[in-house]
Every structure is written in structure tokens, then in C-alpha cells.
Amino acid sequence: MTHFHYKGGVLHAEDLPLDRLAEEIGTPFYLYSSGALESAYRDFGAALAAEGLDYRICYAVKANPHQAIVATFAALGAGADVVSLGELTRALAAGIPASRIVFAGVGKTAVEMAAALDAGILQFNVESLPEMETLDRIAGEKGVVAPVAIRVNPDVDARTHAKITTGKSENKFGIDLAHAGAAFARAAELPNLAPQGIAVHIGSQLTEIAPYEDAFAKIAALFAELRGQGIALERIDLGGGLGVTYRDETPPDPAVYAAAVKRSLGQLGVPLIFEPGRLLVAEAGILVTRVIYAKDGATRRFLVVDAAMNDLIRPTLYDAWHKIVPVAEPSGTVSPQTVDIVGPICETGDTFARDRALPPATSGDLLAICSTGAYGATMASTYNSRVPAPEVMVRGDAYEVIKPRIDYQALIGQDVIPGWL
Ligand code: LLP
């Protein structure tokens, strides 16, 4: 969190004090540090480059699809990993060239395939035979050949949260290794597909290197086997998944990860695609919220804040732990209180933290929920008819509201009441 620090007693994002921003913008709001985004991207690239890898970084847009974020990476030369026509539209609008876009996902529709073919993307990561047949048909109708990587399921346990593990045989993703050879042979037969690569992605928020090593070894073996069968592939897409430290996890450093890639796949002599999402954006973002009430319940003290599970679902959905810090720097002498930090939504699940030690806080105090740049705003909803939190990007001592707060008319204005009412 080097781009967030206390200065003069107030938490700053780069050179901007958060108390001032909170006054100007109103709470809750998401804030992203462009310096942090750029450093994360550069650090990851530098680790890959240090191993002499031939690589392309395709930012996983799902982690944070805001065009200002995507454009930040586009300016650094990134490609994009998209999983829907919406994400493809965003990536193109934010300046990512189609030639650097990979399209992943188990359920691409014919409409999405057609749009991606029209755009001229780098590759489709196909995940099943029926998908392959559909893509062949759509490409045939357009008189083009679709560049394809087949996503394989290596059946390795990523040892992450069950809801975000993707590389086990029981998961819906990819084609299992035993059938991968046949799938490539089928792709080679289909007239409108050009099999060009292998893709793999075993899960998100990985904190160990071993599952990667297992998967990479299996991919290297498959690549060699296919080559032996005369299917010469041009690249390998290794997906994303590298974890970040939310609490006390010690995920592999990008350098350790890059070295593992080099050891397993460096000798194959093909370019590698990486699809990091969380690693590039998580730590660049915070959610700033204000305490509405400090409430002493029968057995615990609650800080009721003005952000809620609709703004940040990760604690509710994955029991995720996010660091929460006061915007006013606590004095070194004050002893912490144990509190539950909860939102105003009418569900007990609307809890950001339980039994959290925090300097005494009261109504009106500002808190920052840290490392929320990834899978934060993008997973938000308007549950309880709450307007989406605005989003702000900071650069040095400048900021811009990149997503303004909408008013309640805009929120309810899309409801259509049937004529009979
Ligand atoms: N590539 C593919 C094919 C993916 O499915 C994903 C993430 C990524 C890349 C990027 O993974 P990352 O580098 O961000 O770990 N909402 C969950 C995370 C879901 C991840 C889904 N797929 C969370 O909040 O933890």
C-alpha cells in the first residue's frame, strides 16, 4: 500500500488527503491510485522480462472493468482478457487493440463470437466441443478463420477459496487433459478454426507456487505431445490468479512465479500470455466509508458505516478479510477497541469485519477498506435501492471522479411500470 500513507495525521492517496476528498465527493466512494496501478503492471512485466520470457500481459478486465483502469493499462501496452461482449466493448473503447484481446469463458454466445470475429481479436479460448462447433459455424458464415486456444483443465487443486478455484476436474472450466488431444484434433479438422494455443487458468487468489508448477508441467507435456502429433501451436496462455496479501497471506512474488514459468515452459520457445487481474488492481483501490453510528449491542460494539455489501460483496460472499484503517491517523498511545464493522443493509451478512481491533471510532469518522481495487465496484449491485458508490482516480495531487454518483431518479428510472397498473 505504498501509494496510501499517513501525512500530517491524515491518510493520503498519493498526494491527496482522504478527508478532503470525502467532503468533496461524499461517501462511500471507491478510489484508485494510478501510480499504484502503473507500478503493479510494471513490476509484473519486469519480473517476466527478467526471466527473458517472450510475454504478453492481457489484463483480466473482470477484476475492474472501469475504462479509466483499462486505459491506464492500455497506455502501458497491455492486452485484455475479456469474458463477455460487454468487456470486449469496454476493452476496445479503452484503447486496447483487438489484436491483443483474448476471449475466455465457458458460455460465449453466437452473438458474442460474431462480434469478436468482426473486431478481429487475437484468440478465443474455447472450453468445450459444442463451443468449438458453434465458433466454426459462425466463422464459416463470415468467411473467416477463428484463432483458437483450447482451455484445458489440468485437474490441480489451486488451494484457494472453493468458489474461485477453476482447475479441478469437477469445475466447469476447460477440457480435461485426457480429452485435450482429441479436442485439438477436432479443431484442426474444422475448416474455420485455426488451433493456435493452449490456455489454462486454475483459480484466483493463489498463495502457493506448487499448484502452478503442477499445472505448468502438465501443459508442457501436452504441448510436446501435440507437437509430436504434428499440431504445432504458437502460444500458451497461462491465465491469471496470482494472489495478493489481504491479511497475512504470502503469495508467490512475481519473480518466483516468473522463475517457475521459465523452468517449466521456457524451453518451448513460444510466446506466453498472462491474464493477471487482482494482482494489478487490488492494492490500488480503497473503499472510503463514513461511520453513521457507533452502536453498543448487548454483546458487541458495531460500527454502522455507509458502505454496504452491495458496494463490496467479497466479505459476504467469500468470507474475505480486508484491512480497514481510520482516515485520521490514530495516536500511538490509544488502545484499540474490538468492533464489528457493518453496513446498513437488512441482512446479518452485511458485515465487513467481525471482532476487528480498531482505534476507537465514532459517528462521522472515516474509514478506508483496503485492497478493494479488484472485484469491488465491479461486483456491486443496487440492493436495497442504494445508488452505486462513485469512483475516483487519483494521480499525484490531482483527482477525477471517473464514475459520478447518480441520483435516485436515475436509479429508479429504468423501471417500466406495465400499462395496466
Ligand atoms: N483468467 C481467467 C480465465 C479467469 O477466470 C480469471 C478470474 C482471471 C484470468 C483473473 O484472475 P486473477 O488474476 O484476478 O486472480 N470475484 C472473485 C475472483 C473471481 C476470479 C474469476 N476469474 C474474488 O473477489 O475473489
What is the predicted pLDDT for the residue at 227?
92
Q: Whose CA is nearest to atom 20 of ligand 1?
A: 204
Q: Which ligand 1 atom minimizes the distance to the CA of 199?
A: 3
Sole residue written with cell 498526494? 15
Average pLDDT per consecutive 10 residues, the chain (421 residues; last block may be shorter): 91 98 98 98 98 98 98 98 98 98 97 98 97 98 98 91 84 92 96 98 96 97 94 96 98 98 96 98 98 96 98 98 97 92 96 97 98 98 98 98 97 96 98
**Is 204 close to ligand 1, i.e. is its CB under 6 Å away?**
yes
What is the predicted pLDDT for the residue at 171?
86
Question: What is the C-alpha separation between 331 and 263, in angstroms, rounded?
Answer: 48
**Is 386 close to ligand 1, i.e. is its CB under 6 Å away?**
no
Complete edge-to-edge strand list for the sheet that includes strand 10-13: 4-7, 10-13, 16-17
What is the predicted pLDDT for the residue at 333?
86
**Is 201 close to ligand 1, i.e. is its CB under 6 Å away?**
yes
What is the predicted pLDDT for the residue at 249?
97
**Is 167 close to ligand 1, i.e. is its CB under 6 Å away?**
no
What is the predicted pLDDT for the residue at 2?
79
Catalytic residue among 346, 416, 417, 421: 346
What is the predicted pLDDT for the residue at 104?
97
* Mutate-to-test residue for ligand 1 from 204, 245, 281, 321, highest number of ligand atoms within 8 A of CB: 204
What is the predicted pLDDT for the residue at 31?
99
Question: What is the C-alpha separation between 304 and 351, in angstroms, rounded?
Answer: 9
Residue 370 is a catalytic residue:
no
- How far does the centroid of ligand 1 lie from the alpha carbon of residue 166, in Å? 9
Question: What is the C-alpha separation between 280 and 312, in angstroms, rounded?
Answer: 18
**Is 241 close to ligand 1, i.e. is its CB under 6 Å away?**
yes
DSSP state letters, 259-313: HHHHHHHGGG---EEE--SHHHHGGGEEEEEEEEEEEE-SS-EEEEES--TTT--
3-state class (DSSP) for residue 40: helix
- How far does the centroid of ligand 1 lie from the alpha carbon of residue 63, in Å? 7
What is the predicted pLDDT for the residue at 166?
84
**Is 254 close to ligand 1, i.e. is its CB under 6 Å away?**
no
DSSP state letters, 309-347: TTT--HHHHH-----EEESBPPPTTPPPEEEEEE-SSSS
Bridge-based pairing of strands 351-358 and 337-342 is antiparallel
- How far does the centroid of ligand 1 lie from the alpha carbon of residue 375, in Å? 9
- How far does the centroid of ligand 1 lie from the alpha carbon of residue 35, in Å? 22
Torsional sign, CA 413, 69, 242, 342: negative
Strand partners, 337: 358
CA 157 to chain centre: 20
What is the predicted pLDDT for the residue at 163?
85
**Hey, what's the cell of 223?**
504441448
Query: Rounded to whole angstroms, what are the CA distances from 347 to 244, 317, 351?
Result: 29, 13, 9
- How far does the centroid of ligand 1 lie from the alpha carbon of residue 187, in Å? 26
